[in-house]
Structure 1
């Protein structure tokens, strides 16, 4: 993801309200969390547009350069067209330059990360919507066990887990971007499956470089040998 976009490092203020009406308060929190996830997915989908166009141009240039670099010297050798061999070598060089630029600037890999992250956030949002509907049905039908306070606590736990999952998605994408920025290559550590189970929340959900697909490739710390017994 690029730097300098508005809201890159700004969080969303947690909505404050009166808990005298817990049902309305929980609904407000749900809408706040849902809106943040939608903004996150929308940011990634918007960010992918320019990268997709750039990737297509660079990959098309690489393909055209490879074809011209192979065809023009062959035409020159067979005598069909004379004096075009140097142009073939130049086209081949331009094709290699397109591949190098795509890899160095991470255009294609960035586009793929944006798409994967947006899809993972959308899938996780669908899970939240069904979980929230399930809790709402339980509340309407009447809880079989527990108090109203315990029901509210379950709802808050659902919202908190969802926020942590989205934060982990954005964090993992950011980690991949940082590794790629340092190395100039594309780790592509994003998995399309989403977080689903485990969560490791760090920070708040932020639109822009909004805090991050799970399973992202991260630099591994070297293991240390345990001290030997004396």
Structure 2
């Protein structure tokens, strides 16, 4: 399945067509919808993780330029003052100008805040995906172990409710991150990103713990079939 469509400036947007099929076999249809919803969430998390890479590299380069420029701007005039090196003070001023330019560039283009926001959003999507998978497994256990509650129609409604809530949650996470990007763009950067605050509960996780396949489907491709078709009750 292809990557999610992109909003302006390359932001992810799940614009995939809703899968249509024959509801004569509700278990197969729900399984198909589960795969579609899960794949969209995995693609969204993967997009943010890929977008993080180049922003992090740019942020690292700008911060390195800031440190080197500040160090050179302080050291060269001192060397000139002590007579160790002659006529290097102008180069020190130029180095300080470079450091200021790197700080301004990082702030204006949002490299540091951008990759932090990408990581926070990917973590939030994957945490929600994990909860969704347990919710789905809970519905599977309810159907398999029984006695089943309600009719087959009610079981299908519960499953569709789980799928819908998860899809809306992921869409909301992307919306919050996009709104944060728009606010930062209009405000010229700065401040704590909304996306980072949104995922503050997972701030203790290491960045390396986030990967697109962390909550990916099992290797055997097994998926629950829901709901079971109940036999007619004996009268």
Please give the TM-score of this superposition, normalised by the length of structure 1: 0.79
CA apart distance, 1:4: 5.0
In structure 1, what is the equivalent of residue 145 of structure 2?
141
Aligned 1:1-230 pairs, distance under 5 A: 3-5=8-10, 11-187=15-191, 188-190=193-195, 191-193=198-200
Give yes or no for contact 2:23–2:29 (8 Å, CA) kept in 1.
yes
Q: Equivalent residue of 2:194, what SS?
A: coil
Q: Aligned in 2, Cα 1:120/1:8: closer, same or farther, shift over 3 Å?
A: closer
Q: Distance in 2 between matches of 1:50 and 1:119?
A: 18
Q: Aligned in 2, Cα 1:31/1:159: closer, same or farther, shift over 3 Å?
A: same
Q: How many correspondences in the alignment? A: 194
Q: Which has the higher helix share?
A: 2
Give yes or no for contact 1:169–1:194 (8 Å, CA) kept in 2.
no
Q: Aligned in 2, Cα 1:3/1:64: closer, same or farther, shift over 3 Å?
A: farther
Note the residue ranges of structure 1 that are not aligned, 5 or more in a row. Answer: 196-230
In structure 2, what is the equivalent of residue 226 of structure 1?
none
1:89-136: per-residue Cα shift (whole Å, max 9, x none)? Answer: 110110000000110011111111111111111111111111111111
Give yes or no for contact 1:64–1:95 (8 Å, CA) kept in 2.
yes
Q: Aligned in 2, Cα 1:193/1:164: closer, same or farther, shift over 3 Å?
A: farther
CA apart distance, 1:164: 0.6
Q: Aligned in 2, Cα 1:2/1:84: closer, same or farther, shift over 3 Å?
A: farther
1:55-97: per-residue Cα shift (whole Å, max 9, x none)? Answer: 1110100011111111111111122222111111110110000
Q: Aligned in 2, Cα 1:57/1:88: closer, same or farther, shift over 3 Å?
A: same
Q: Aligned in 2, Cα 1:11/1:107: closer, same or farther, shift over 3 Å?
A: same
Give yes or no for contact 1:124–1:194 (8 Å, CA) kept in 2.
no
Root-mean-square deviation over aligned CA pairs: 2.0
Q: Which runs of 4+ in 1 moved over 6 A?
A: none
Note the residue ranges of structure 2 that are not aligned, 5 or more in a row. Answer: 1-5, 203-235
